Amino acid sequence: MPNTQYDAQMDKHVGGLIRIIPDFPKPGIIFKDITPLLADSKALDDCCQMIATYATDADYIAGIEARGFILAAAVAVISGKGFIPIRKSGKLPGKVISQSYDLEYGKATLEVHADLIAAGKRVLIVDDVLATGGTALAAIDLIEKAGLIPSAIAFLLEIAPLGGRSRIKTARPGLQIQTILAE
């Protein structure tokens, strides 16, 4: 179901630009490819403008590597706020704060630069897809570890059957979860 703030016509247009790639990157995964949407200037603009409406009470926009960067950086420019990269481990050159989380097989780690942003600032976290919610929860934990306050978390697409929203809600009942498209 589309977000209630979301115009149904826009939903149809934008939703049709998500390409389904079965068995990528491995068998059993139904990959949601957002590159057709990114290539459509109006859809990209509409989505980033919509996410920017969730940034009014944020001081910064954080994007989760890699596809979250694309949206978050555009939202940061639209809303006149700075951008914070949440990167996979080993990519940031300075002193970092890390947060590990479980994947289906093994573990992954997200990092932000320590001491880059003054403690207490509010951060809108942005990613492309909400699936099980593990990545999002790690990003929320990471932002908090850095002394910052997650103001909300926003996604282009929610794969609702995978339960990410309820997982985030259980862990952070007060946090607003915004999605542009859901299936």
Give catalytic residue positions.
67, 104
Residue 62's DSSP bridge partners are 84, 125
Nearer to ligand AMP, 85 or 133 (CB): 133
Closest CA to 58 of 154, 135, 130: 154
Check binding of 177 to ligand AMP (CB under 6 A): no
CB proximity list for 76: less than 8 A, separation 6 or greater: 60, 61, 82, 83
Check binding of 111 to ligand AMP (CB under 6 A): no
* Residues 47-66: x where in contact with ligand AMP by CB under 6 A, - otherwise, as a string: -----------------x--
Distance CA 41, CA 47 (A): 10
Residue of 67, 81, 87, 165 that binds ligand AMP (CB under 6 A): 67
Closest CA to 139 of 75, 82, 69: 69
Check binding of 158 to ligand AMP (CB under 6 A): no
How many residues bind ligand AMP (CB under 6 A)? The answer is 18
First to last CA, the chain: 6
Query: Minimum distance between the CB of residue 127 and ligand AMP, rounded to whole angstroms?
Result: 5
Q: Which residues bind ligand AMP (CB under 6 A)?
A: 29-32, 64, 67, 127-136, 159, 164
